[in-house]
Every structure is written in C-alpha cells, then in structure tokens.
Amino acid sequence: MPGSSNVVSLFEAQRNFRRYGASERRNLGTTRDPVEGESVERGWRPLDPGRDNPERPGRGISYGDSYPWPDTTVLYYWRSTYWRRLVG
C-alpha cells in the first residue's frame, strides 16, 4: 500500500517496472538482472485489481495485524488459495 514501508503500491510498482525497469524512478540504475536459476513461480501474473481484490489503505487500520498468520502463502494473489479472493 502506498505510504507504508513501500512508497508505491504493488500494482504501481509492477506497472512502473514494465514501463521503465524499476519499481520507482529513484531506483533506476540500481536494479539487478535475475540470478542464474532464479525463476518465477508457475502461475504468477501481475496484480489485477479487478480480479484480485487488493486491500485498500485506510486511516487507523493496521493491515499487518489482519494478515492470516502463520501461513502467509495465502497472501500470494495469483494462487487459488489467496485469502481475499472474490467469490463468483
């Protein structure tokens, strides 16, 4: 979420990376290429706000405290086990 420990949202960071190769312009020139053997999880795709129901920032709400611990893999929006998946 913007304004938290990350300056830009995940959606914006992914869009920026596609546009110019970094999550934020201030990071241009400091990104790295993938390491040999580093892969993307099968099924991964960019975040789609219309499909993935991302959290919206809210004043006074501590989203970290609402996360489904201890299995944080349910935070992976591209998986069928995503905790905020819309039914329908």
From first to last of its 88 residues, the chain has per-residue pLDDT tens of: 555 667 888 999 999 999 999 999 999 999 888 899 999 999 999 999 888 988 776 777 776 777 777 888 998 999 999 988 776 5
String of DSSP letters for 40-52: PPTT-----HHHH
Cα dist. 15→1, 2, 26, 47, 65 in Å? 14, 14, 15, 9, 27
Q: How far apart are CA 86 and CA 50, in angstroms?
A: 10
Quick one: the chain helix, strand, coil %, rounded to 5? 30, 0, 70
pLDDT computed for residue 39 by the predictor: 92
pLDDT computed for residue 87 by the predictor: 64
Q: Where are the domains of the chain?
A: 1-30, 41-53+67-88
**Contact (CB, 8 A) for 3 and 57:** yes
